Amino acid sequence: MGTFSWLKKYSNRLSSRFSMLVTLAGMIVLLALGIYFEHFLQQSFLRNTEIRMQYGFQRLAYNLRQIESGLQEGILFIRSHDTSIAAIELINNYQDKHSYNAFLIDEEKKLLAEELLSRVKLSFNDTICLYDQNGDLVAYVRRTALGFSLNVISYHDGSRVLYRKQELGHQYVAVPLNRAEQDGIDLQHQFLYPGDEVKRNSLVTYRSHPDGLMMTSHLSITNPDHPEKMVAHIEMSRLLGSQFFNQLSANLNLELHLTDQLPSGFSALPELTEIDTDSLFPLLTTDEYYIGGYQLSGLEDPVYTLAYMEKAPLVELLQNNRHRFLLLLITLALLSLFFVYLAVNRSLQRPLRALMQQIHHIEQQNYSGQDVLETGDELEAISIKLNQLADTIRDRENALETSKARLEYLSNHDVLTQLPNRRFFSFRLSYALEQARTDKHQLALMYLDLDQFKQVNDTLGHHVGDLLLAQVAERLRDNVGLTDTLARIGGDEFNILIERQEILQDLSGTARKLLDVFRSPFNINGQMLSISSSIGIAVYPQDGDTATDLIKHADIAMYQAKEAGRNNFCFFSEDMSRHIQEKARLHRALRQAVQDGNQFVLHYQPKISPVSGQITGVEALVRWVSPEHGFIPPDRFIPLAEESGLINALGRWVLKQGCQDFIHLKSMGIHLQHISINVSNIQLNHRDFLQELKGMIADTGITPEQLELEMTESFIASDQQEAIQILQTIRNMGLQLAIDDFGTGYSAMSFLQKLPITRLKIDKSFVDGLPHDNDSIALVKAMLSLAENFSLAVTAEGVEYQEQMEFLKKAGCHEIQGYFYSRPLPFDDLVTYCKARKNR
Ligand SMILES: Nc1nc2c(ncn2[C@@H]2O[C@H](COP(=O)(O)O[C@H]3[C@@H](O)[C@H](n4cnc5c(=O)[nH]c(N)nc54)O[C@@H]3COP(=O)(O)O)[C@@H](O)[C@H]2O)c(=O)[nH]1
């Protein structure tokens, strides 16, 4: 598998996508943390730098203040030292620069110098200067590389003379006066500050010095009794040299510098006095340094103390911290990934695998309850639902199996009798034929048809017919062998396949046994019904080697049995009458035609009034054009239809089509008095006929008076009472009734008066003899007079010649029907004929 397709497959997995999402979220959090901590590191670094620098400045300020207080304490002590004050007062009062008493005054000055030495040493300072009330330098002590040097100013002839000795030396020696300046000592005290400030002992000044920073504490002493009177000025100094700053720099990890110039980038720096612990110094950032500082105020220009902190080591440290932090983040990310993997695996991947397993089981049609996931979340709900789904699928599959079995059963069985049906029988027969061919043995097919079963249906109703069929099937089932196949293949037709070789030797006995099944009557709801059957037998291989041939030949044999008087059986033989074979074929074709319904058409034969010459009505005559047999005349198929009961369905179609065509004619302006339609006795006896007639009249819109039913005398022959009742009902509905072929039957003419009819149709056989045969003339005249007596209309049919027509007209016949006027016509030709006749 390629990397790409593996990645695609992997990324399509829910757990992978979830892991990726969580990882992505984790990465975003880590990135945010990274950015935050980067910022935090920088900020804290800057802040640390500031704090460190501030701390350095705090330390420096603290040290300076310590030194300041050391300077002030040392200087203050002199003021409280009475001997020193007295000595200064003495100098103030008795020093005369022009007549200078060196013996007295210089000694005092030297004592004062000793006193100053002890002060400067005790306070660990470097220099102390004493000025008299006029500001003239009196003495000073200064730390040198060899120790402290003591210096006094004497006068000679009004000029200053500087005497000096080392701390441990015995003699003062005169040195050039400029040495004092070289030591940085002013010979004249400078009043650069307001007197009050100095008196309050608070003034400390700073000054830049070639060796460092000079701190000087200033004190002016006044007379306690006369505060306005100045006594002396004292200055004590400490030089903070490079060593001081270097050591501090080393301790604080800062580079400390002193400068007179305000560094560029700073507009001002805070005063030392402003330093407190709460505020941070403003920092200046250059490419190489963080710089901070403050200002030391002096009597002259301010001195700036600057602290430099090199950036490079800090940046390196920052980078190191960054790297460490990055490492930490990567470690955290990897750990998070690991834990995400563990969590996803535990909370998603494993349950998903279990769910897939459940689905797999369902796919494998294993519906037994799988263990439900116990995750307590939606996955558990899905797992429960999957089990429920499995139950539902199992139930549905069971139901499907049941209905499939039921469907299978129904497709192969007849619902009424529970016997195998035609389909199943065909399969079974084909299979049996294959076996017989292979094993080279015989088999027999019996075609059993109930005799006159249609009449049961038509007279007693389908319900009774159905019950009878069910009982017949039961009896037959009880009388065929276990290995025989009994099937109902049509309405009252049963087929039996016999494969038992021993039985094949005595098929006649078997057939007789089956006929005997019908010997005792059937009890249908308490009504005892007798019925017989006819059986045709065909044997493989001599009577056919295909299922179709065998069935066809058994069917023909069955017709032969019926022809032979019913309740009979017959073996097929090649020389069996062509007539039977043809009849069997025609019967099958007719059944198909009635089912199809589109092989029949109606032709109409006009009936003419001989007086007016106008068309009074038409008789509908059915025509059958079979795709298999071509045109078949009605007198061939009507009896077959009556025999098989198919006449009911066919008659229904004729009635409906005739009425519709009549209405159609009317809509075309061809107004006829009536349409005559032939109905057979079987139709009239059908229990649903009257109901169907009503429905048809209502459906087509024909008025009952326009519809004339033609029936034969034979209808009345069977059951006069019943027949008269049926005819009366039809008349009551308003229909016309005609007796067809009148005179050919056996009923007495006087019987006519009992019948509720409206017309007589004189049969062609009587018309044929007109106008010469005396018997025909007498009979026709008798019929016409009888009809007149009973107020019946008369139609003469089969009129072929002018003289026949003339005779009938003269004799008072109302309607003429026959080839003389017209043969039966297709509908379109009838329309043409009617129009032509109207226009005559
Ligand atoms: N139950 C139903 N029976 C029907 C229906 N349609 C027809 N029939 C019956 O079939 C028989 C044969 O009818 P058909 O072949 O249509 O013959 C009819 C006419 O063509 C024929 N006829 C009419 N005039 C003459 C003539 O001058 N010469 C001559 N040789 N034949 C003629 O007579 C038949 C009409 O007979 P009838 O019904 O008695 O008026 C026939 O018995 C039909 O009844 C149907 O739908 N249902």
Q: Exposed, middle or buried: residue 194 (CB in 10 Å: 0-12, 13-18, 19+)?
A: exposed
Distance, CA of 356 to CA of 351 (rounded, Å): 9
What atom in ligand 1 is closest to the CA of residue 619? 40
pLDDT in tens, 427-447: 999 999 999 999 999 999 999
pLDDT band at 300 (very low <50, low <70, confident <90, very high): low
The answer to whether the CB of 108 is under 6 A from ligand 1 is no
The answer to whether 164 and 179 are in contact (CB under 8 A) is yes
Distance, CA of 840 to CA of 838 (rounded, Å): 6
The answer to whether the CB of 639 is under 6 A from ligand 1 is no
Selection from 535, 532, 528, 541 nearest residue 557 by Cα: 535
Mean pLDDT in the chain?
A: 87
The answer to whether the CB of 555 is under 6 A from ligand 1 is no
The answer to whether the CB of 635 is under 6 A from ligand 1 is yes
The answer to whether the CB of 798 is under 6 A from ligand 1 is yes
Structure tokens at 145: 């590389």
pLDDT in tens, 341-360: 788 777 777 888 888 888 88
Predicted local confidence at residue 71, as pLDDT: 84
The answer to whether the CB of 800 is under 6 A from ligand 1 is yes
Q: How far is the CA of 329 from the centre of ligand 1 (A)?
A: 111
Distance, CA of 434 to CA of 545 (rounded, Å): 10
Q: Which residue has the higher pLDDT, 716 or 11?
A: 716
Across 332-336, average pLDDT: 84
pLDDT band at 806 (very low <50, low <70, confident <90, very high): very high
pLDDT in tens, 679-704: 999 999 888 999 999 999 999 999 99
**Which of 601, 638, 648 has the most ligand 1 atoms within 8 A of CB, as the residue to mutate?**
638
pLDDT band at 192 (very low <50, low <70, confident <90, very high): low
The answer to whether the CB of 634 is under 6 A from ligand 1 is yes
**Which of 678, 766, 815 has the most ligand 1 atoms within 8 A of CB, as the residue to mutate?**
678
The answer to whether 684 and 458 are in contact (CB under 8 A) is no
The answer to whether the CB of 638 is under 6 A from ligand 1 is yes
Q: How far is the CA of 739 from the centre of ligand 1 (A)?
A: 13
Q: Is the model's pTM score more than 0.90? A: no
Q: Which residue has the higher pLDDT, 607 or 404?
A: 607
Selection from 674, 446, 659, 642 nearest residue 543 by Cα: 446
Q: How far is the CA of 494 from the centre of ligand 1 (A)?
A: 35
The answer to whether the CB of 6 is under 6 A from ligand 1 is no
119: helix, strand or coil:
helix
pLDDT in tens, 393-429: 889 988 988 888 888 888 899 999 999 999 999 999 9
Q: How far is the CA of 125 from the centre of ligand 1 (A)?
A: 165
pLDDT band at 749 (very low <50, low <70, confident <90, very high): low
What atom in ligand 1 is closest to the CA of residue 710? 38
Predicted local confidence at residue 298, as pLDDT: 64
Predicted local confidence at residue 459, as pLDDT: 77
Q: How far is the CA of 621 from the centre of ligand 1 (A)?
A: 6
Distance, CA of 212 to CA of 245 (rounded, Å): 9
Predicted local confidence at residue 60, as pLDDT: 79
pLDDT in tens, 196-238: 655 555 578 888 888 888 888 888 888 878 877 888 888 888 8
Predicted local confidence at residue 506, as pLDDT: 92
Distance, CA of 659 to CA of 701 (rounded, Å): 8
Q: Which residue has the higher pLDDT, 810 or 189?
A: 810
- 670 pLDDT exceeds 60? yes
Predicted local confidence at residue 9, as pLDDT: 64
Q: How far is the CA of 678 from the centre of ligand 1 (A)?
A: 9
Predicted local confidence at residue 193, as pLDDT: 61
The answer to whether 625 and 601 are in contact (CB under 8 A) is yes
Say how many CA atoms lie within 13 Å of 774 toward its Cβ: 0
- 759 pLDDT exceeds 70? yes
The answer to whether the CB of 622 is under 6 A from ligand 1 is yes
pLDDT in tens, 255-282: 888 888 887 777 777 777 666 656 666 6
Predicted local confidence at residue 718, as pLDDT: 65
Q: How far is the CA of 638 from the centre of ligand 1 (A)?
A: 11
The answer to whether the CB of 621 is under 6 A from ligand 1 is yes
Q: How far is the CA of 741 from the centre of ligand 1 (A)?
A: 10
Predicted local confidence at residue 745, as pLDDT: 65
Q: What's the distance, CA 703 to chain centroid? A: 63
The answer to whether the CB of 684 is under 6 A from ligand 1 is no
Q: How far is the CA of 634 from the centre of ligand 1 (A)?
A: 8
**Which of 600, 689, 797, 802 has the most ligand 1 atoms within 8 A of CB, as the residue to mutate?**
797
* Cβ contacts of 483 within 8 Å, gap of 6 or more: 499, 500
Across 229-256, average pLDDT: 85
Residue nearest ligand 1's atom 29 by CA: 798
Q: How far is the CA of 727 from the centre of ligand 1 (A)?
A: 22
Distance, CA of 59 to CA of 57 (rounded, Å): 5
Predicted local confidence at residue 25, as pLDDT: 82
* Radius of gyration for the alpha carbons in the chain, expressed in angstroms and rounded: 74
pLDDT in tens, 612-654: 999 999 999 999 999 988 999 999 999 999 988 899 999 999 9
Residue 461 zone, left/alpha/beta (φ > 0; ψ -120 to 50; rest): left
The answer to whether the CB of 824 is under 6 A from ligand 1 is yes
Residue nearest ligand 1's atom 2 by CA: 678
The answer to whether the CB of 633 is under 6 A from ligand 1 is yes
Predicted local confidence at residue 281, as pLDDT: 64
Predicted local confidence at residue 288, as pLDDT: 81
Predicted local confidence at residue 376, as pLDDT: 83
Q: How far is the CA of 820 from the centre of ligand 1 (A)?
A: 15
Across 379-384, average pLDDT: 88
Predicted local confidence at residue 358, as pLDDT: 86
pLDDT in tens, 541-582: 999 999 999 999 999 999 889 888 889 999 998 877 677 788
Q: How far is the CA of 683 from the centre of ligand 1 (A)?
A: 17
pLDDT in tens, 60-115: 778 888 888 888 888 887 778 888 888 898 899 888 888 888 888 999 999 999 99
Residue nearest ligand 1's atom 6 by CA: 621
Ordered structural domains, the chain, with CATH? 1-39+321-412 (no CATH), 418-572 (3.30.70.270), 582-838 (3.20.20.450)
* Cβ contacts of 644 within 8 Å, gap of 6 or more: 454, 587, 590, 591
| CA 597 to each of CA 380, 556, 558, 601: distance values in angstroms, whole numbers, following the listed order | 64, 25, 26, 10
Predicted local confidence at residue 368, as pLDDT: 81
Residue nearest ligand 1's atom 30 by CA: 798
Distance, CA of 130 to CA of 105 (rounded, Å): 14
- 662 pLDDT exceeds 60? yes
Structure tokens at 131: 């000025």
Residue nearest ligand 1's atom 44 by CA: 678
* Cβ contacts of 375 within 8 Å, gap of 6 or more: 347, 351
The answer to whether the CB of 797 is under 6 A from ligand 1 is yes
Residue nearest ligand 1's atom 19 by CA: 824
Structure tokens at 39: 């910022």
Say what percent of the chain tops pLDDT 90: 46
The answer to whether the CB of 193 is under 6 A from ligand 1 is no
The answer to whether the CB of 819 is under 6 A from ligand 1 is yes
